[in-house]
Structure 1
């Protein structure tokens, strides 16, 4: 383990974070108080050493974007986290220059035009899933019957995973979701099957390239530098798992917010579908779905953050959901405003570790919602089981219904 810094207050009774059990998507009122006070709050998560909690937008941008704060320093130490497991791997554990090298090669393959080309596929998948649900009856669990399926189909189609191998991708992803009863041995078996499928796909695409992300990743190069097979496997597995829970959760979160109360927002989007991209951005900002304690940063040197001197070797946890509701950055932040100037929210992060799958996530959200708005205008949320102490806040299950009969 990496030696811990000398923390005079490490033995003090620190406030526990997160401040609630994570059920629902409302921003905890404690954040409002913390944004107004000087300095940072020192907290403890369920596991790991103490951490500074960053709640203001300006401070969050600093910690997420400044190279004086490291992700790689989390590896091999008792970093703050909600789960007992400490294993870390992939892009999220790296700093420059290795992170820059791998990210550059990935982005060469994962271009905006490639993602936009996925839009018809995502829409068709959502349409087919809804048709199947409608033929079975006037309702579905929008989490398992719709959102999860869209994400797996979307990512697998983008990568180029054949239909015969998609079960390994789906079973591994769903096993990681809250509420899963999959044990450690079964989880290792699923990860092994997923990596084996990916390794086989790499070999096939090396021999016979196609117009898919895997082929593009194999061919991507920076001068003489290329991704190794191990790096390719880690990239594919990371791309699937990093985006799976986040976007799977955001589709039902958005439906929940749009249809509650007088349904004015839902009806507005039905009448004005051109507003959907702006609406998705605003809902990403508004929904307090960012998980607590994900991806702590460590200070490489003494740095002042929000009036607090953070010593070299101390950790900082950014509460993105609080930063997204900071009135110093967003006017009337607790209101939903589809005309709000675009950009600025931190739901996909910021800086060098900004989510590489953000654009695919946007496409999945937009098309998943578009199909529902178009085909089931009277969709109603009936029952919700919220995830408890989740990485990403939202429903574990959410039953929705619509009027039966012809469309």
Structure 2
């Protein structure tokens, strides 16, 4: 291409008022201009923002683009040239081959059909317990704390084998470094406390294995430090994302009454509805890659060392891939969304996330047929755009008792 590329001046930190489910307008506008835009990081380094579906998918499948943590830059903060350290042992999401496979491969066999079936039964029991508690307390309820967070939190605790008596404090620590609102000092303290706890948990599983994924992994050649890192990745990937999908997904359904009615009328629509909500909401908004060599991409040359911000939420709203992409359509036929990523880093726990949503959404809607917002929609508190995972901070709901 001879013409200059489109330029995105800065990564947006807010969404348009009244449009909590849509990507930031600046990213949508950038995609309308071109599927990739020039971008300058706060410290002055040149890079790219990729907003088109095909190009995002292409980058995710291309080993010439690295996931290594030490090659990344923050899209909104200038750290004065301070380079990020390499990812700690076990945190394979921020690694390339061969380290990535060393840590991921032992896990792939742990998410078996048998274990998913057993977990589905457990998810159903947990969901029923949460709904019973909501019904007993009576309306109104705050859905995030009463329903959306506890379900994946209990599931991930059981997956890791966290003892029952530790779960409340453990979940509070995790929330403190994931919610995007904690001060840097408190976030670091919570992150350190979580790592310390996981180190003790790994040691306990080595000494006294139980029926959980972490205990299974103690039979491998992975060190305690590596198992701690893997546990942290499972925790980060399995808790915050699903919790925000459950809460934000409920909000989206309540704001789209025709789609909600269709789901209530036809429970067999649940699987397709979950996939559409994943596409429509894209709570894991962006990921980053770094070019290891010069790469031709979309008619442009990405130079070695340049960083690419991959905008999942605009890719999943690309009209070239999804007709009428800004509509929530639970009957949508074409899948292939990027909510779980693509390529070697595609979400390992995606089937578990699907199980949780496929159980929880219909159970909630069946238990409370008159479920509705307890506040005006504009008063629903949203997570800040700078948080890694998008969602709602609080979702007050009510129903006819």
The TM-score normalised by the length of structure 1 is 0.85
Aligned length: 382
SS at match of 1:43: strand
SS at match of 1:66: coil
Unaligned runs of 5+ in 1: 1-8
Task: Pick closer, same or farther for the CA change 1:214–1:38 going to 2, 3 Å.
Answer: closer
1:381 maps to which residue? 373
> In the aligned structure 2, how far is the partner of 1:241 from the partner of 1:96?
21
Per the TM alignment, residue 315 of structure 1 is displaced from its structure 2 partner at its CA by: 0.5
1:3 maps to which residue? none
Is the counterpart of residue 42 in structure 1 residue 43 in structure 2? no
Task: Pick closer, same or farther for the CA change 1:83–1:249 going to 2, 3 Å.
Answer: farther
1:158 maps to which residue? 159
What does residue range 163-182 of structure 1 map to in structure 2 within 5 Å? 163-178=164-179, 180-181=181-182
2:297 maps to which residue? 305
1:240 maps to which residue? 235
Runs of 4+ that moved beyond 6 A = none
SS at match of 2:102: helix
Per the TM alignment, residue 303 of structure 1 is displaced from its structure 2 partner at its CA by: 0.8
Per the TM alignment, residue 40 of structure 1 is displaced from its structure 2 partner at its CA by: 2.2
Give the one of 354, 358, 366 matched to 2:358: 366
Give the one of 369, 372, 395 matched to 1:398: 395
> In the aligned structure 1, how far is the partner of 2:129 from the partner of 2:334?
31
Per the TM alignment, residue 182 of structure 1 is displaced from its structure 2 partner at its CA by: 5.6
> In the aligned structure 1, how far is the partner of 2:30 from the partner of 2:187?
39
Give the one of 304, 308, 322 matched to 1:316: 308
The structure showing larger relative contact order (alpha-carbon pairs under 8 Å, at least 6 residues apart) is 1
Per the TM alignment, residue 188 of structure 1 is displaced from its structure 2 partner at its CA by: 4.4
Unaligned runs of 5+ in 2: none
| Contact 1:26 1:288 survives alignment (8 Å) | no
Task: Pick closer, same or farther for the CA change 1:326–1:191 going to 2, 3 Å.
Answer: closer
| Contact 1:22 1:388 survives alignment (8 Å) | no
SS at match of 1:295: strand
Give the one of 261, 266, 276 matched to 1:272: 266
Is the counterpart of residue 27 in structure 1 residue 23 in structure 2? yes
> In the aligned structure 1, how far is the partner of 2:395 from the partner of 2:289?
34
| Contact 2:291 2:303 survives alignment (8 Å) | yes
1:18 maps to which residue? 12
Once the two structures are overlaid, the 10-residue window that deviates more, 335-344 or 63-72, is: 335-344
Per the TM alignment, residue 83 of structure 1 is displaced from its structure 2 partner at its CA by: 5.8
What does residue range 136-285 of structure 1 map to in structure 2 within 5 Å? 136-178=137-179, 180-181=181-182, 184=185, 186-219=186-219, 221=220, 226-261=221-256, 263-285=257-279
> In the aligned structure 1, how far is the partner of 2:202 from the partner of 2:284?
33
Task: Pick closer, same or farther for the CA change 1:193–1:79 going to 2, 3 Å.
Answer: closer
CA RMSD of aligned residues (A): 2.6
Give the one of 56, 63, 66 matched to 2:59: 63
> In the aligned structure 2, how far is the partner of 1:216 from the partner of 1:22?
46
2:105 maps to which residue? 104
